Structure formats: structure tokens, C-alpha cells
Structure 1
């Protein structure tokens, strides 16, 4: 992946209170240094057009953080946008003193000048924050913008792989090369399931030794599964891993039923679970947009995410249960039991992951949705994951909504959302909102 870079552009004029200007600049630099080492900053505020032009000379970036260090007319922003066609965070500083005396910064008027210009230039899709560098809200917002802009850049060097086709009636997850490239800048490759099955069947036990040791170290009760199923599962895991490494894949959507049960004799569930445990986004039922949702959730939260169907709601408890046959990451298992394994609830073949997931005080339900016209939208909902036992055979978690669960379900069904969602073990709603806007996605909050 190419390196991400942001530029901090503290613009203004020297006719306001220089001591306040310098103080806010130093505080801002300290904040930005704490957020990322990939933000380039000038040695001093850019208080003249020529200073700004000189600093921008020969520079390129992925994000411009334009701060009205004091008032600046729209010529400053015009010079920036003429040289940089990038995403923008516009930052207004809080007036440091309101005492009936001199106006120290007048940053807010400068922000209106910049916003007006960007609106007229057709660049109104920018991020905005008001506040002091000491405000927690400012730290949170700037951090979220940097994280989202970085992920947007990273996605352009990633590849999504679709392994097999969606089953009949599951077309909602089918990936279309041109759309994935247009919306995310990602590559998309497709292979048939039989290719990986054939590779798996040719692997020897010696070649699969490391894969078996990893599985045994993470998956409990694997010894209770018939030896031939464990052997074939490990071969399949090795084949998937090799394919991913050879093609530099960031996320996969894999066909599962009926092929692996009928033609291979062992499910792919455990394979996807181990991949997810290694934070390689792996969605089942060939759901390409589900895999993309997992990838985004993993990158923004820094940990594995849950993938599943909404299968049950409890109005009194204000919860929705998410479940799937058994592809959850081992690290998501409730610590009281660990990452137990078992057999598929319908097909009675293993190994599959078999546990209830651990709780979390902050969680986010998310989905990249495809609209009828081919454009995208983001489903975002904040809540928490309750400390609950396994709800059904397979893997499950119980999500407590911030809003009434009945309304949550009613609205999302009426709005036509796909039946697969991811649940991230962190509040990443702000990062998702920003990323969605950067990608021109419709933001839908529940």
C-alpha cells in the first residue's frame, strides 16, 4: 500500500492577535503529532498567501486539514484547492477569550469564507469541526477523519476476491467489478470454488502441518471431529491461505453451501473463522459487500468483527440477536467457554465454530448496502453487546440497540437492507460516517 499523507494548513492574516495565533498553532501541532506521524506541518502559521504557496510547492497529499488559525479570506482556500484535489477537513478554532476587548482570531468568519468558496466550486463534501485543540470532541473528530481518509486511500490498493457464486436467492451480495472499482477503488477478482477444492485435495499432511497446529491452538474440541473432516478442513485452510497470499487479497467472499458439504465433504465455516481471527475479512454465502463491510470494520476497529444474520429480537430487552452457522473469529468467543467447535446445525458435518460471543460496552452494527441504481449506502447503528450465552447452534451475539429494537428492525426491513450485517467491537460510527461521505455513500443511521 502507498503511504498516506496529510497536510496541516494553518492559514490566516497577521493583523489579529499574534500571541493567540501562535499559541493555538503550537497546541494544534501537539494534537496532530499525537494523532499521526503522517501529517506534515509548516514551521509556523501561514499568515500570507506567499507563505502558503511556498509551503505547498511540490507537495501532494491525501487529506488537507485547513485550519483558520485566524481570519483568512477565500483566496487562501482557493490557492489550496487549485493545487490539491483532495479530501478536506475544515477546522475552526474557538475564540480563546471573550472579554469585551479585542477579537483575537476571528477564525469562524474565515471558515464561512472557505465554506462558501468550496460550495461554489462544487466541493461541498468536506468535513468540518469547530473547537479548541484541547477539546476532546476535536481530538475525536480529527482522529476519525484521519482514520477514514487513510482507509479510503488504502482501499485503492486492495483486492477483494469472490470465491464462487452467490447461491440462488442470495444475489444481494454479488460483487460487480466496475461498481466495486468505482465506489472503493478496489480490484475484484473471481475464481471458482472447485479451483481451491482441487488445490486442497493435492496438499499433503506435511504441507499442512503449520495450519493444523494453528487450528489446534485456537479451536477447542477439534479432536471430537472425525479425523477425515479435520484433515480436509486443514487442507482447505491451507489452500485458502495460499491463494490469499499469492494474490495479495484483503478480503474474500466465499461460497459455502451446498458445494463444500456435497462435493468436498467438509464445510468451509471453520476456514473462514480462522481467517477472520487473523483479521482477513472472510464472508460466507459469497457476500462480496458483506466482505467489504467486514474489511472496513476490521480496519477501523483494529480487531476482528462478527458477520451474521439478524435472527431474533426482544422488545423488552431492546435487543437484536445476530447469528450465523459458525464462521466467527476465535477471538470473539466468550471467555467462559472459549472458541468451541462443533458440526453444522443443518448438515451435521464439522468443523464449524460453535459459541456465544463475548460482551462489549461499545459496538457498531454496519453494512455497505447496494442500492437499486448501483450506488452505495452505509447502515450504521451504535449500541452494546450483552453478556449472553450462545443463543442458537452456530455463533451468535446479542446486540442492545440505542433506539427501540422494534423500530430498529421495522425501519431497516422497510428500507430494504440486505440480511447480512457486521458487528464491530468498538464505537466506530463517526469514522464510518466520515468514510461514507468521502466515498459519496448515503448515510443511514438506525
Structure 2
């Protein structure tokens, strides 16, 4: 399963300057560093975010000398931090900032509090913004990618927005690199569009594809039907409470819910973060049922399962969900057909895998031939897809708002784009396909930052 907890190493820094009373003194910088660390730990510690600070590293709990760099690195490595936050207390120490960031090798956030004290005699104490320019240049020289929150007061909304965005980015980087993804079955024969390169994913992203043979699926599925009848009965009752069920689905509801139990076993046994699965061809022939209406339940339980063996869509959904710390649910709404009268509105649709909790309030949900029919709740959405062309990987990103459109079958929403013809042309000219993934919220800036830390993935803004 995915891990949405992010552990951040806080590095308050000051320049090791010669003491000059009334100007650029150590004490003012140290006070600002201590206040920033205390504020961050008080206001941003949560079930998803924890911190490692420099308490006890030296007498002032602030990094200013080369001699303390190794101790900071050792602490962060021992505590397994997922990111580093460089907090510039005065005009900074470029050497120690670069050394720590380079050694840890995790996403880096750079910020310094805005100076607010200007004495009547002209005295200034810290000049934090000045130091940010030098520190950023040192990071660039050392080939350390970083995220920047512009110089501001720590209470300003821009700080909160920037910090929380960075936390999501760090979460996505943490889960993406080294991820294990199960591949259940093969792609449907006609779907050349979802071909992927397993070796590339390992070489470029350290992503490990774990094959799951359909013979294993068949054996597990039959055992579940035979030995877990009470759980299946409870699952059938749940499905009946969720959907208006047609005559084709009613006789096989236990088989539909068996897929929920099956995939829970797959995630646990194979220790994977996500699954890319064959769904509507071999499953029906082999097991006499399809998993389409099981996927909505699994999505609401927190599992990511990409249908139609689309590995790239599965990876995209992992990134999107991690950027929200697991709080929002991505869905695979493919570009299907243009609105009959509005050229900037597109049908984002699939046969039934969207999380049930995304259902539009006041509308009904049906199960038709083991597939979920429902409309997604209104909102603003990020639309994205990871894909590749001859080994060059990129992620297409744009945004849309929900729109009114004709009723249709399956799981769907109508999305209004700023310039749909441009988006359409870009997808056609590649290297993308219609299988886009959506998630509520505006994540374009987050995805752009994410790509900084995944050098083999290029940001491609469609807007």
C-alpha cells in the first residue's frame, strides 16, 4: 500500500559572521530560526506530517558551521527523512545548506522569513532574502533540485500554501521511486495503445513490475467463493444497498464482490502499492464475472487499480493521489466524445471503475452487467497522464471544470476545458492516448514541482 506520511528534516541556518553589535548579530538570526521551527512544528504536525529538528546538534540548535554538517546528515539518515527544509535565518550559509541537501538526496524546500525590523538609525539585523539568492545558487551548482517559497512572513497564506504543496510533492516522490506495481494478466489484444516497457520503468524510475499469473488469480478466486461465504453475503448486501441492480448482475453479485476480497489479498501478498489489471476479457471467460463494479469499492478503501492493463494510467493515479496525501481519489476518465453543442466540453468516461464516493449528490447509481453507472460530483479537476515515446517519458497536465451534458451510461463526467481543441490535438500528436486520469483540485503546480525530482519525467502542460 501507499504510505502518505512525510517526515521532514528542518534545517534552520545562519551565516557564521563576525559579531558586530547592532548589525547582523548571531542572536537575532538564532531567535528567528527558533521561532520558525516552533511555528512549523506547532501548526503543521499531523497524522501525515512529522518533523526532525536540530535540537542538541549544537548549543543553539541552528546549523552555521561545517563541523556540524556530518551530525545533521547522520541524524536525518537515521530518522529516514523524506524531505529537507532549509530555513534561512539571516543572509545564510551556502556551504552547509548545499552539503546537507546533497548528502540527503531528497526533495528540498528553501525559504526564509521576511525581514520586518528596520530601526530608526537604519540598522537591519538579518537580510534573509539576500541569503536565499546565494543558497539557491549553491544548490544549482551542486545539481540539487529544490522547491522555493518566496520570501514572506511565516503567517502569510503563501507560506501555508507553498509548504503544503511541497509536502504533497515529497509524498509523491517518496512513493513513486522504488514503487512495486502488480501486473495482473496481459493487455487486451486490440489495445496496442497501453503497451509499456517494464525495463524502462525499472531503469529510469526504479519501479518494479510484479507479474501475477492468471492461474494464481483463478485459484484464489475459486477458494474465496468456497471458503468466505459470510463475507461474500455481507458484500452482496452492501452492493444491493448502493445500486439499482439489473437482471444480468443480480445472479453474480457474490462473484462481483469476490473480486474485492481477491484484490485485497493481492495487495497484501505481493506487497504492492498499486495494481494494473486485465479486466473485461480473460476475467469473464475464466471466472464467469467481471471486476468492474468491484473497483469502486476498492477505490473507496484506498486501493489503486488501473483497468485495461494500462500501466501508465496506474502510475499517473498513484502520483495524483499522493499529491493529495491520499485525501482525494483519482479516476480514469478517458476522453471519449465531444459535447454535442459545446466544443470546449468533453465526456470523461469509463465503464465503471470510479470510486463510488465520487457520485454526484442527488443522482442514482446503477449496476448494469456488472458495471457501475453513475455521474461524478461537480468540481474543478486536474487531468493528467504519464506516457512515453521511444524511451522519453512525460506527463501531460491540464485542468477542467465539470459541465452539464447529456445523460449517458457508465461512470462519467462532462469536463469544460479552456481550449479543448488544443488539448485534443496535443493528445493526438502524442505521445499520449485517451486514457487520462482525473482528481479533484488544482495540482498543475504540484506536478511541475514533482517532475523536478524525477529527472526522467518531463512536465508537459497542455493548457
Q: TM-score, normalised by structure 2?
A: 0.84
Question: Unaligned 5+ residue runs, structure 2?
Answer: 18-22
Q: 1:371 to 1:90 in 2, by over 3 A?
A: farther
How far off is 1:338 after superposition?
A: 4.0
Residue number in structure 1 paired with 2:52: 40
**Corresponding residue to 2:428 among 413, 416, 429:** 413
Q: 1:201 to 1:71 in 2, by over 3 A?
A: same
How far off is 1:420 after superposition?
A: 0.6
Question: Unaligned 5+ residue runs, structure 1?
Answer: 343-349
Question: What is the aligned length?
Answer: 434
Deviation by residue 1:73-129 (Cα, 9 ceiling, x = unmatched): 422224424643333212133232568823332222222222222222232x22122
Residue number in structure 2 paired with 1:299: 322
How far off is 1:155 after superposition?
A: 3.7
Residue number in structure 1 paired with 2:20: none
Task: Indicate yes or no: 2:39 matched with 1:30.
Answer: yes
Task: Indicate yes or no: 2:77 matched with 1:65.
Answer: no
2 CA distance for matches of 1:413 and 1:23?
52
Secondary structure of the structure 1 residue equivalent to 2:401: strand
Residue number in structure 1 paired with 2:170: 149
Residue number in structure 2 paired with 1:56: 72
Q: 1:410 to 1:73 in 2, by over 3 A?
A: same
Residue number in structure 2 paired with 1:383: 400
2 CA distance for matches of 1:160 and 1:251?
5
Structure 1 segments (4+ residues) deviating >6 Å: none
Whether contact under 8 Å (2:448, 2:459) holds in the other structure is yes
Moved more, 34-43 or 98-107: 98-107
Q: 1:267 to 1:109 in 2, by over 3 A?
A: same
Residue number in structure 2 paired with 1:346: none
Residue number in structure 2 paired with 1:325: 351
2 CA distance for matches of 1:96 and 1:45?
23
Whether contact under 8 Å (1:22, 1:45) holds in the other structure is no
How far off is 1:223 after superposition?
A: 6.6
Q: 1:58 to 1:316 in 2, by over 3 A?
A: same
Task: Indicate yes or no: 2:332 matched with 1:286.
Answer: no
Secondary structure of the structure 1 residue equivalent to 2:149: strand
Q: 1:38 to 1:237 in 2, by over 3 A?
A: closer
How far off is 1:51 after superposition?
A: 7.5
Secondary structure of the structure 2 residue equivalent to 1:376: strand
**Corresponding residue to 2:12 among 1, 10, 15:** 10
How far off is 1:150 after superposition?
A: 2.6
**Corresponding residue to 2:362 among 331, 336, 343:** 336
Deviation by residue 1:1-31 (Cα, 9 ceiling, x = unmatched): 8874321112113652644762464145313
Moved more, 155-164 or 20-29: 20-29
Whether contact under 8 Å (2:313, 2:437) holds in the other structure is yes
2 CA distance for matches of 1:12 and 1:110?
9
Residue number in structure 2 paired with 1:277: 300
Whether contact under 8 Å (1:32, 1:39) holds in the other structure is yes
Secondary structure of the structure 2 residue equivalent to 1:382: strand
Task: Indicate yes or no: 2:409 matched with 1:397.
Answer: no
Task: Indicate yes or no: 2:369 matched with 1:358.
Answer: no
How far off is 1:397 after superposition?
A: 0.8
Residue number in structure 1 paired with 2:438: 423
Counting only pairs closer than 5 Å after superposition, residues 424-443 of structure 1 correspond to structure 2 as 424-440=439-455, 441-443=457-459
Superposition RMSD in Å: 2.9
How far off is 1:214 after superposition?
A: 3.1
Whether contact under 8 Å (2:256, 2:290) holds in the other structure is yes
Deviation by residue 1:322-370 (Cα, 9 ceiling, x = unmatched): 011112221112222343211xxxxxxx21101111112x321122222
Whether contact under 8 Å (2:82, 2:170) holds in the other structure is yes
2 CA distance for matches of 1:226 and 1:412?
35
2 CA distance for matches of 1:190 and 1:424?
27
Counting only pairs closer than 5 Å after superposition, residues 176-255 of structure 1 correspond to structure 2 as 176-204=197-225, 207-218=228-239, 219-222=242-245, 224-255=247-278
Q: 1:48 to 1:410 in 2, by over 3 A?
A: same
Deviation by residue 1:236-256 (Cα, 9 ceiling, x = unmatched): 333233222222232111112
Whether contact under 8 Å (1:208, 1:238) holds in the other structure is no
